[in-house]
Amino acid sequence: MSFFQESHCESLRAFLDAGYSFRGIAAQYGCDEATVRRFVKRWMPEEHAKRSPLEPSPEPRLLVIDIETMANLVWSWETHGQRFYFGDSQIVKHKRTICFAAKWVGVPNVMFASEFHQGREAMFRAAWDLMNEADAVVGYNSKRFDVKHLA
């Protein structure tokens, strides 16, 4: 016996119209995302086609992401010869994240957001929304560097 029955179509359509993802609907009903996808595919094929361009895909969603940062801008008397350590009073502008690029594995287009184009808050929100949607995040030194600089 299936978790959902044909009588669930109306309530599922209400969730879909309200902007819920398959994952969000699954959380509301206490089932897994695959169960929702299978039901919608069988009983609501037009909704499934609109919302699942990558279906069918039992594979996890992998996001490849990389950020770029701007270096500290400092006042300094010397430019060579020693290892330099700068105090806060010498830093004119602290380093910061200025952009990121991301791509879903298996999808050809690359997404890009920058402080210059979208604004700082929108750029961070876009990066975190993508990472929250992913089953796994792939990147070089992401755990120790990128995630720290997206906080």
Q: Which of 37, 7, 6 is nearest to 20 (CA)?
A: 37
Q: What is the pLDDT of residue 55?
A: 47
| Per-position pLDDT tens, the chain of length 151 | 356 777 777 888 888 887 777 787 888 888 888 788 888 877 777 776 666 554 445 678 888 988 888 877 777 776 666 666 777 777 777 777 888 898 988 888 888 988 888 888 888 888 888 888 888 888 887 777 777 777 7
136-138/62-70 β-pairing: parallel
Q: What is the pLDDT of residue 3?
A: 67
What is the DSSP-derived secondary structure letter of residue 57? -
DSSP E strands: which ranges in 18-75? 62-70, 73-74
Cα separation of 65 and 102, whole Å?
4
Q: What is the pLDDT of residue 1?
A: 37
- CB hemisphere CA count around 100 (13 angstroms): 29
CA distances from 48 to 40, 41, 54, 94 (A): 6, 5, 10, 47
Dihedral through CA 132, CA 36, CA 51, CA 114, nearest 10? 0
